[in-house]
Amino acid sequence: MSDFYVSLIPTDVNWQPTSKAAAEAEAYVRRVFPDPDGVQQDVTVEFYDRITAVDAGENIQRITCPRCDHDIPLDWYEDLIEQTEGEFDSPNVTVPCCDTAAGLDALKFDWPSGFARFEIAVANPVRGEYEFTADEVGAVAAILGHPLRQILAHI
Ligand SMILES: [Zn+2]
């Protein structure tokens, strides 16, 4: 069985919060995602050294090129992640469809996926409403000090 992750990442691939803000955000997330038994769920906060794929995993159905609007083969993306181990020094990549450079975060993923150097995630959320609500995304963004995107992943 795969794990289900609900993640928040900054909209800017390189942005990182202060460790103090991250700790406050973690406390907030633990409060709104209660886990009475403390067995099933995991809340994690990650600072990544390099730009790191935070993608929808098995939920990725389709990737579309921001340059030419053609589909990008899922195999190409899977190979890219395998070769790079999902870590990037540059936010740009050469896409296969039109052989041009595109921003990783400009690739259009269905389901939404992203790239970031910070992530706060709830693995296997206990509560019934498993996504962050818009209000909660806004609250975490206010604590961290940067707009966020939500990623839902089966990995
Ligand atoms: Zn293209």
- Alpha carbon distance 133, 76 (integer Å): 33
Average pLDDT of the residues in 9-22: 98
Instruction: Give the domain extent around 99.
Output: 4-154
Residue pair 13/51 in contact by the 8 Å Cβ criterion: yes
49 CA to centre of ligand 1 in angstroms? 29
**Average pLDDT taken over every residue of the chain:** 96
105 CA to centre of ligand 1 in angstroms? 14
71 CA to centre of ligand 1 in angstroms? 8
Average pLDDT of the residues in 66-79: 96
Which of 36-40, 56-60, 139-143 shows the lowest mean pLDDT across its residues?
36-40
Average pLDDT of the residues in 12-25: 98
6 CA to centre of ligand 1 in angstroms? 29
The yes-or-no verdict on residue 68 having pLDDT over 70 is yes
In which band, very low, low, confident or very high, does the pLDDT at 101 lie, cut at 50, 70 and 90?
very high
Domain count, the chain: 1
The yes-or-no verdict on residue 34 having pLDDT over 90 is yes
20 CA to centre of ligand 1 in angstroms? 40
97 CA to centre of ligand 1 in angstroms? 4
Average pLDDT of the residues in 69-91: 96
pLDDT at 1: 63
